Amino acid sequence: MDLSTILKPEAVKVVSAASSKKRLLHAIGELAESAYGLDTTRVVEALLERENLGPTGVGHGVALPHARLDGIETVVGAFILLEKPVDFNSVDRQPVDIAFALFAPNEAGVEHLKALALVSRTLRETSVCAKLRANQDAQTLYSILTEAQNVQAA
């Protein structure tokens, strides 16, 4: 499994203003709808439901919101870089400016966990996050994400 199989180039976006965690999750929902045809409302509801179990802000300005959804066949992702960080109730209390959301079929047990581990490993690299934060072009961000994982595998 690699990030290019989970993440489409069209599912990467820079958002200039999201005033809150809820607005960020809504932006993720809209991106998931435009890239994968998922229903924005269902996506946002599923993400909020998951957030109620515990925040998915993993620290260092990174959030990994994720949810299981009916009607999808494989694990898919959406990436948002925020120009202005938002409070996300992260474990380290730092605001979030990098969000990589994952959506998995209800029956995808191991695949969902593998995808989450892959994204987490990639975004744990401070050099990758620094490169992401230094770029505002969606295609460049996609390249950084997919190439970072290939470098780690080598």
Catalytically annotated residues: 66
Q: Is the dihedral of CA 139, 125, 74, 76 positive or negative?
A: negative
- The whole-angstrom separation of Cα 115 and Cα 99 is 14
Element at 13 (helix H, strand E): strand 7-15
Report how far apart, in Å, the C-alpha atoms of 101 and of each of 26, 65, 71, 154 are: 12, 5, 17, 25
Strands 7-15 and 66-69, how do they pair? Answer: unpaired
